[in-house]
């Protein structure tokens, strides 16, 4: 297989990388989703046609366009088409609904949206509605005057004249909600995709000719910035999955001849939780499984069971991805986050931003060594940008220490952040949503440990009137993204507060799960896979 190499500073946008790779690799397969595949040349051609279709709708450079669709080749085509026109894509978590969805649509000011059928239903369920100039529907359904069929747009002639873009121009707004506040839209420049793409080959994660299997959702920075950009730059073949199925994933890896699994630690834990199989010891063509983060003992168990080396030492945020990573060459420290990557500078600082000596715990801060390696601030939120980007450092809000050899060790996350099902959940946003239930007078949510290595969510509620578990769970299921639905609820007479009336979250965390706590999972109240999105269609998988 011929492999092209595009230097890290040679391309301003991923579209330039795609165009150069298409010249060399042509009809070699690049991206697949389930059974559909596009070559390098095929993706280039279709993204040019879609870009012209979007241009004919009147969309222009700088316009924001939402993407609300499960994994598909149309999502990848749209990403490159938007990039060609200088449109700012806003990839949204497909499980958002209600006020969670409304906030991100209104805050970003999207003038158009590309949606699948459940995405269309979720948007149309908003009351009052969020208005768009154009609602573009990916799926082949009967459309009305308010919607535009995707297939009509992609049948346009290829785009002939595109705006000249630089690495500093904004490519996307990706929302993160890892703190106590409302979600913040990270302004991602084109350079953050192109500048980081070479790193994954340098680390040994994605090599020329690799076949990479990724279950990651396409709205995540991990997929866009690592899996997609890294595979494109290296001349690899990337296979995405519409949905992750723990019971069939390893079989799929063998069937498609995957050489690399690129996923998250919780995915690896779900694979380990599957019943043993006689085929477990056959790694097929696999040379590497990437599962950040994963405990050392779980890494060793995965390697013993499936016969493939595991690397889990990396760390990043939507604002800067990655920040640290262990390469395949040299020594590694299992359980750590690895050393800083070559294109950023990392330090551990105290509350006054004074750098701490090795092995002392403080806040992890980072700054780029190359221009456009990181986000450009928070959309429509200068106060949060100034608060985070102070004293020439980006403050991650995460606590860690750095050993004398440069290795970063994560100690704790922000005390009120919650990480569940691979998603960050804002406690403030979740409390506001739960507070809309008529019987709730006060509510405080916090994380509790999970056997899967992330968090479960507990809601502590002071009620106005009697509440039954089934009634409250039905409200949660209808109003919250599935990953934000609390597993535990405790009704309390009052919440512990400070002298100035702030809820003492640490006291609630120390209280933990009591005998009076409802466990919705134990009660048989769960959100099934086919209930996770606003659709009546039957979903498959685990």
**What is the CATH number for 72?**
3.40.50.980
- Contact between 91 and 224 (Cβ < 8 Å): yes
The pLDDT score that the predictor gives to residue 180 is 52
The pLDDT score that the predictor gives to residue 536 is 41
The pLDDT score that the predictor gives to residue 498 is 61
Q: CA 180 to CA 390: how far, in whole Å? A: 19
Residues 104 and 18 placed together within one structural domain of the fold:
yes
Structure confidence by residue, pLDDT tens digits, 258-313: 999 999 988 998 999 999 999 999 999 999 999 998 889 899 999 999 999 999 99
Average pLDDT over residues 61-87: 98
Residues 133 and 229 placed together within one structural domain of the fold:
no
Cα dihedral sign for 226, 229, 235, 238?
positive
Q: CA 236 to CA 3: how far, in whole Å? A: 8
pLDDT for residue 541 is more than 60: no
User: 């039957």: which residue's tokens?
Assistant: 538
Is the peptide bond between 215 and the residue preceding it cis, with omega within 30 degrees of 0?
no
Average pLDDT over residues 92-112: 94
The pLDDT score that the predictor gives to residue 158 is 97
Average pLDDT over residues 108-125: 96
The pLDDT score that the predictor gives to residue 491 is 97
For residue 253, give every residue at least 6 positions away whose Cβ sits within 8 Å of its Cβ, in sequence order, or none: 213, 261, 284, 286
Q: Are strands 36-39 and 260-262 parallel, antiparallel or unpaired?
A: unpaired
- Contact between 205 and 225 (Cβ < 8 Å): no
The pLDDT score that the predictor gives to residue 181 is 63
- Contact between 210 and 233 (Cβ < 8 Å): no
Residues 155 and 241 placed together within one structural domain of the fold:
no
Q: CA 69 to CA 123: how far, in whole Å? A: 12
Report if residue 278 sits inside a domain: yes
Q: CA 90 to CA 113: how far, in whole Å? A: 9
The pLDDT score that the predictor gives to residue 424 is 77
Q: CA 52 to CA 67: how far, in whole Å? A: 18
Is the peptide bond between 386 and the residue preceding it cis, with omega within 30 degrees of 0?
no
Residues 363 and 257 placed together within one structural domain of the fold:
yes
Percent share of the chain, pLDDT over 90:
76
pLDDT for residue 419 is more than 90: no
What residue numbers bound the domain in which 512 lies? 418-531
Output the six-digit token pair for 70.
Answer: 């499960």
Q: Which residues pair with 188 in a beta bridge?
A: 172
- Cα-atom radius of gyration of the chain, to the nearest Å? 23
Stated as kind and residue range, the H or E segment containing 300 is: helix 296-306
- Contact between 229 and 203 (Cβ < 8 Å): no
- Contact between 269 and 263 (Cβ < 8 Å): no
User: Residue 438 phi/psi, 5° resolution?
Assistant: -55, -30
Identify the CATH number of the domain in which residue 344 sits: 3.40.50.12780
Residues 394 and 422 placed together within one structural domain of the fold:
no
The pLDDT score that the predictor gives to residue 451 is 73
The pLDDT score that the predictor gives to residue 410 is 87
The pLDDT score that the predictor gives to residue 8 is 39
pLDDT for residue 500 is more than 90: no
Average pLDDT over residues 521-536: 84
Structure confidence by residue, pLDDT tens digits, 139-158: 877 767 779 999 999 999 99
Under the banding of pLDDT at 50, 70 and 90, the label for residue 412 is low
Nearest to 488 by CA among 461, 528, 467, 527: 461
Domain end (from 384, 412, 440): 412
Residues 394 and 480 placed together within one structural domain of the fold:
no
Average pLDDT over residues 222-233: 96
Residues 452 and 518 placed together within one structural domain of the fold:
yes
Residues 437 and 389 placed together within one structural domain of the fold:
no
Report if residue 170 sits inside a domain: no
Higher local confidence (pLDDT), 284 or 426: 284
Eight-state DSSP code of residue 263:
-
Q: CA 286 to CA 258: how far, in whole Å? A: 6
Residues 327 and 401 placed together within one structural domain of the fold:
yes
Output the six-digit token pair for 422.
Answer: 């691979």
For residue 180, give every residue at least 6 positions away whose Cβ sits within 8 Å of its Cβ, in sequence order, or none: 414, 416, 417, 426, 427, 428
pLDDT for residue 499 is more than 70: no
Report if residue 459 sits inside a domain: yes
Structure confidence by residue, pLDDT tens digits, 241-257: 998 999 999 999 999 99
Domain end (from 165, 184, 199): 165
- Contact between 208 and 50 (Cβ < 8 Å): no
Domain end (from 165, 183, 212): 165
Residues 259 and 399 placed together within one structural domain of the fold:
yes
User: 């992890």: which residue's tokens?
Assistant: 364
Structure confidence by residue, pLDDT tens digits, 175-195: 986 555 678 999 999 999 998
For the beta carbon of residue 405, count every other beta carbon within 10 angstroms. Answer: 9
Q: Which residues pair with 315 in a beta bridge?
A: 324
Average pLDDT over residues 27-50: 97
The pLDDT score that the predictor gives to residue 414 is 55
Report if residue 468 sits inside a domain: yes
The pLDDT score that the predictor gives to residue 417 is 65
Residues 306 and 427 placed together within one structural domain of the fold:
no
pLDDT for residue 94 is more than 60: yes
Eight-state DSSP code of residue 519:
E
pLDDT for residue 13 is more than 90: yes
The pLDDT score that the predictor gives to residue 312 is 95
Structure confidence by residue, pLDDT tens digits, 306-340: 999 999 999 999 999 999 999 998 789 999 999 99
Structure confidence by residue, pLDDT tens digits, 457-495: 999 999 989 999 999 999 999 999 999 999 999 999 999
Report if residue 7 sits inside a domain: no
- Contact between 435 and 480 (Cβ < 8 Å): no
Under the banding of pLDDT at 50, 70 and 90, the label for residue 542 is very low
Structure confidence by residue, pLDDT tens digits, 363-380: 999 999 999 999 999 999
| Domain total of the chain | 3
For residue 142, give every residue at least 6 positions away whose Cβ sits within 8 Å of its Cβ, in sequence order, or none: none
The pLDDT score that the predictor gives to residue 411 is 80
The pLDDT score that the predictor gives to residue 143 is 66
pLDDT for residue 118 is more than 80: yes
- Contact between 402 and 358 (Cβ < 8 Å): yes
Identify the CATH number of the domain in which residue 468 sits: 3.30.300.30
Using the CB atoms, write b or e for 135-151: b if 16+ within 10 Å: bbbbbeeebeeebbbbe
The pLDDT score that the predictor gives to residue 295 is 86
Q: CA 75 to CA 70: how far, in whole Å? A: 8
Structure confidence by residue, pLDDT tens digits, 206-226: 999 999 999 999 999 999 999
The pLDDT score that the predictor gives to residue 10 is 74
Q: CA 379 to CA 361: how far, in whole Å? A: 31
Residues 388 and 284 placed together within one structural domain of the fold:
yes
Report if residue 269 sits inside a domain: yes
Report if residue 365 sits inside a domain: yes
Report if residue 422 sits inside a domain: yes
């Amino acid at each position: 297989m011929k492999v092209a190499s595009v230097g890290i500073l040679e391309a301003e946008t991923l579209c330039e990388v795609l165009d150069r790779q298409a010249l060399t690799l042509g009809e070699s397969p690049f991206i697949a989703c389930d059974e559909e595949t596009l070559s390098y040349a095929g993706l280039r051609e279709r993204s040019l046609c879609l870009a012209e279709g979007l241009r004919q709708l009147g969309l222009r450079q700088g316009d924001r366009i939402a993407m609300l669709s499960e994994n598909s080749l149309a999502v990848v085509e749209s990403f490159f088409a938007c990039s060609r026109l200088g449109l700012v894509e806003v990839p949204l978590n497909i499980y958002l609904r209600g006020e969670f969805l409304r906030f991100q649509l209104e805050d970003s000011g999207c003038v158009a949206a590309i949606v699948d059928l459940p995405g269309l239903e979720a948007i149309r369920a908003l009351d009052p509605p969020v208005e768009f100039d154009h609602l573009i529907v990916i799926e082949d359904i009967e459309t009305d005057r308010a919607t535009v069929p995707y297939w009509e747009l992609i049948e346009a002639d290829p785009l002939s004249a595109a705006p000249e873009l630089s690495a500093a121009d904004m490519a996307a707004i990706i929302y993160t909600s890892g703190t106590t506040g409302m979600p913040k839209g990270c302004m991602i420049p084109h350079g953050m995709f192109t500048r980081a793409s070479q790193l994954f080959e340098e680390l040994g994660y994605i090599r020329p000719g690799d076949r990479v299997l990724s279950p990651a959702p396409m709205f995540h920075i991990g997929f866009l910035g690592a899996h997609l950009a890294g595979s494109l730059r290296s001349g690899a073949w990337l296979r995405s999955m519409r949905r992750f199925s723990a019971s069939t994933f390893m079989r799929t890896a063998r069937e498609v001849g995957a050489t690399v699994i690129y996923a998250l630690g919780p995915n690896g834990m779900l694979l380990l939780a599957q019943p043993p199989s006689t085929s477990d010891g056959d790694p097929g063509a696999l040379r590497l499984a990437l599962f950040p983060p994963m405990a050392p003992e779980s890494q060793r168990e995965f390697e013993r069971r499936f016969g493939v080396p595991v690397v889990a030492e990396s760390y990043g945020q939507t604002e800067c991805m990655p920040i640290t990573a262990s390469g395949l060459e040299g020594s590694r420290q299992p359980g750590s986050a690895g050393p800083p990557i070559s294109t950023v500078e990392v330090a551990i600082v105290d509350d006054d931003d004074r750098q701490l000596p090795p092995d002392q715990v403080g806040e992890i801060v980072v700054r780029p060594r190359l221009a456009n390696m990181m986000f450009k601030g928070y959309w429509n939120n200068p106060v949060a940008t100034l608060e985070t980007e102070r004293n020439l450092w980006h403050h991650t809000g995460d606590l860690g220490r750095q050993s004398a050899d440069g290795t970063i060790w994560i100690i704790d996350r922000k005390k009120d952040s919650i990480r569940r099902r691979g998603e960050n959940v804002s406690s403030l946003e979740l409390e506001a949503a739960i507070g809309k239930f008529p019987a709730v007078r006060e509510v405080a949510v916090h994380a509790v440990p999970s056997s899967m290595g992330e968090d479960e969510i507990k809601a502590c509620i002071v009620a106005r009137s009697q509440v039954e578990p089934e009634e409250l769970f039905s409200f949660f299921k209808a109003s919250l993204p599935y990953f934000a639905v609390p597993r535990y609820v405790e009704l309390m007479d009052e919440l512990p507060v400070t002298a100035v009336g702030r809820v003492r979250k640490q006291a609630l965390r120390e209280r933990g799960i009591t005998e009076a706590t409802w466990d919705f999972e134990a009660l048989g109240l769960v959100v099934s896979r086919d209930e996770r999105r606003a659709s009546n269609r039957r979903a498959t998988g685990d």
